[in-house]
Chains A and B, each alone.
Chain A
Amino acid sequence: MKAPRFEYVRPTRLEDAIGALAKHGSDAKAIAGGQSLVPMLAFRLAAPRLLVDIGRIPGLNQITVGGDGIALGALVRWRDIERSDELRRAHPLLVEAVRHVAHYQIRNRGTVGGSLAHADPAAEMPGIAVTCDAQIVVAGVRGRRTIPAAEFFVAALSTALEPDELIVEVRLPPWPQGRRWAFEEFARRRGDFALAGVALFYDVGADGRAANAHVGAIGVGDVPLRLAAAEAVLERKLLTEPLIREAGAAAAASVNPADDIHAPGEYRRALLGVLTERALARAAGLPLRESA
Chain B
Amino acid sequence: MSERATVQFKVNGKSCAAEVEPRTTLADCLRHDLGLTGTHVGCEHGICGACTVILDGAAVRACLMFAVQAEGAQIVTVEGLANGDSLSPLQASFRKHHALQCGFCTPGILTTAHILLSEEPDADENRIREVLSGNICRCTGYVQIVEAVLDARAAYKQKTAASP
Chain B interface, DSSP helix/strand/loop, else mixed: mixed
B45 interfacial by beta-carbon distance below 8 Å: yes
A43 interfacial by beta-carbon distance below 8 Å: yes
- Is the CB–CB distance between A79 and B58 below 8 Å? yes
- The listed residue (A31, A41, A104, A109) touching B130 by CB distance below 8 A is A104
- Is the CB–CB distance between A38 and B46 below 8 Å? yes
A7 interfacial by beta-carbon distance below 8 Å: yes
- Is the CB–CB distance between A53 and B64 below 8 Å? no
- Report how many residues on chain A are interfacial, defined by Cβ distance under 8 Å: 31
- Is the CB–CB distance between A105 and B61 below 8 Å? yes
Given A2-B23, A7-B3, check contact A104 B65 (CB 8 Å).
no
- Is the CB–CB distance between B2 and A7 below 8 Å? yes
Contact with A along B127-145 (1 / 0, CB 8 A): 0001101100000000000
* A residues near B58, Cβ cutoff 8 Å: 79, 108-109
A43 to B69, CA, bound (A): 20
How many A-B residue pairs have C-beta atoms within 8 angstroms? Tell me: 95
A26 to B71, CA, bound (A): 26
A5 interfacial by beta-carbon distance below 8 Å: yes
A188 interfacial by beta-carbon distance below 8 Å: no
* B residues near A106, Cβ cutoff 8 Å: 46, 61, 64, 134
- The listed residue (B2, B22, B46) touching A35 by CB distance below 8 A is B46
Given A106-B61, A190-B133, check contact A8 B66 (CB 8 Å).
yes
B44 interfacial by beta-carbon distance below 8 Å: yes
* B residues near A6, Cβ cutoff 8 Å: 2, 22-23
- Report how many residues on chain B are interfacial, defined by Cβ distance under 8 Å: 31
A11 interfacial by beta-carbon distance below 8 Å: no
Given A34-B69, A103-B133, check contact A2 B44 (CB 8 Å).
yes
16-60 of chain A: CB within 8 A of chain B: 31, 34-35, 38-39, 41-43, 51, 53, 55
B112 interfacial by beta-carbon distance below 8 Å: yes
B21 interfacial by beta-carbon distance below 8 Å: yes
B131 to chain A: closest residue by CB? A104
B82 interfacial by beta-carbon distance below 8 Å: no
Given A39-B64, A53-B69, A55-B69, check contact A108 B1 (CB 8 Å).
no
- Is the CB–CB distance between B134 and A42 below 8 Å? no
A104 to B2, CA, bound (A): 32
A190 to B45, CA, bound (A): 17
* A residues near B2, Cβ cutoff 8 Å: 5-8
- Is the CB–CB distance between B45 and A105 below 8 Å? no
- The listed residue (A7, A34, A55, A105) touching B22 by CB distance below 8 A is A7
B130 to chain A: closest residue by CB? A190
A3 interfacial by beta-carbon distance below 8 Å: yes
A189 interfacial by beta-carbon distance below 8 Å: yes
Taking the closest CB of chain A, its distance from the CB of B134, in whole angstroms, is 3
- Is the CB–CB distance between A5 and B23 below 8 Å? yes
Closest 5 pairs between A and B when the two form their complex, measured CB to CB: A103-B134, A8-B22, A190-B133, A108-B58, A5-B2
Given contacts A7-B22, A108-B58, 9 further A-B contacts (CB under 8 A): A2-B25, A6-B23, A38-B64, A41-B23, A42-B45, A104-B131, A109-B65, A190-B130, A191-B133
A sample of 7 cross-chain residue pairs with beta-carbon separation below 8 angstroms, ordered by A number, consists of A7-B2, A35-B64, A38-B66, A102-B134, A104-B59, A104-B130, A105-B61
State the B residues within 8 Å of A (CB). 1-3, 5, 21-23, 25, 28, 44-46, 49, 52, 58-61, 63-66, 68-69, 71, 112, 116, 130-131, 133-134
State the A residues within 8 Å of B (CB). 1-8, 10, 31, 34-35, 38-39, 41-43, 51, 53, 55, 79, 102-106, 108-109, 189-191
